[in-house]
Chain A
């Protein structure tokens, strides 16, 4: 397994956000975490990235323990994170945003090459490379956030609600991009409230409810599960 989470717990003050979370991410494909508001999906991703300290449990990445490391050290190990709400740098240009994604890389020539690849993948970012990031639409900002994360050449990509607040046609475009990234060999952990979308994309799924793991299994099986259908797919 590329990423192993074992019995992870995070508390916000005295309130427990997640408890007894265990999950595996193989070196390839898409794993999704679905669940409602406050289920602990975002907290789990933030814990993997080192933004929230664990109060119990362990996280291993590529065989090495990473919980307790500072976020920038975890990026250095190869985990990139597209955060909830995109969190692009509003007053940096599009190109500067992309370059911050490659902050830790020393291979200047291949950073330039990756920048061109990113512009080919997202032509609209190419048109706007000298523009302040805050002047772009929500969909463009999401693409910038994804492009920025890929500039790190990650071994694992965490994505938190990439479909949030976007028009259906843009959501479809983003879904296509996520599939592409996975096919290019970068494993993805996708957190989504849009369960239909997530189960359609992912190979394996975890269902979170109020901070705990409620269910897990291959996406296709969960898609046909009565509880999942009633609670998350509205069927």
Chain B
């Protein structure tokens, strides 16, 4: 049945949109507040997945504990990056970018040293499947990813709009110097952005660990997707990142289902080119922030 195939593909797309937006929003937040493109973001996602491999698959801790530990561990990695790489290179965005590429390689090497290059098998958290109809099903672990994205991104939105530190973060993204003149510590907002941004990537990796093949190089594919998404959404725009994640996930998933995965990658990149030609600042970007 065509309708069932469309419904199932739609569910797959919602799942993909959920973890892509968790990764892309973190990347945008870090870029917005610190002005650096974090090339190691895919490896933070990978680190989150390995936290689940180590704690849940190998040591047998409950999945939720492994997820929480993954969030905190990768958030701490973010704080370490801020302190060791981005703070000394604050006036040098290109230097920050190069340093993040170096850090990416370090994290990959550490993963290889600790776990080897083979794919890790993470046992499924639950075998439960929500059956909508014979051909429309949603595995419960995928539902967790969707729910986590909804809850975490809503919480981030409330934090940014309703709290004092949220305003401070937005103010320093818009004009760091003017923010400093209001008594906002740029170092503090950088730390908050880095912890949240890295933590979101970590939790995306942790939640999807049982659903994907965990290996030291798994960051590559997600970082390419995340870059496409933030360019389409408008670099610096959190709303844009979410909207573009959903749009990209739907296009990519539908093209993969009805044609194939390589064509879907080509279509995704072509869409980015079209957006760049028609609206160089991205869908939600403004000229002065891009």
Contact = CB atoms under 8 A, between A and B. Distances in A.
B179 interface: yes
Interface string A152-166: 100000000000000
Interface stretch (A69-77, A122-130, A209-217, A222-230): A69-77
Contact of A51 (B170, B180, B184, B185): B180
Contact of B182 (A51, A90, A91, A103): A103
Given A70-B185, A76-B183, A89 B177 contact: no
A148 B167 CA distance: 14
A92 B171 contact: yes
Interface residues of A, number: 25
A100 B168 contact: yes
B171 A75 contact: no
B178 A83 contact: yes
A99 B178 contact: no
Contact of A89 (B170, B187, B288): B170
Contact of B167 (A50, A83, A96, A152): A96
Nearest to A158: B181
A104 interface: yes
A89 B168 contact: no
A71 B189 CA distance: 14
Contact of B177 (A51, A70, A88, A101): A51
A81 interface: yes
B185 A92 contact: no
Interface of B: 164, 167-168, 170-171, 174-175, 177-187, 286, 288
19 contacts: A51-B181, A71-B177, A72-B183, A72-B184, A75-B183, A87-B175, A87-B181, A89-B171, A89-B179, A90-B174, A90-B288, A91-B170, A92-B167, A92-B171, A100-B167, A100-B171, A100-B179, A100-B184, A103-B167
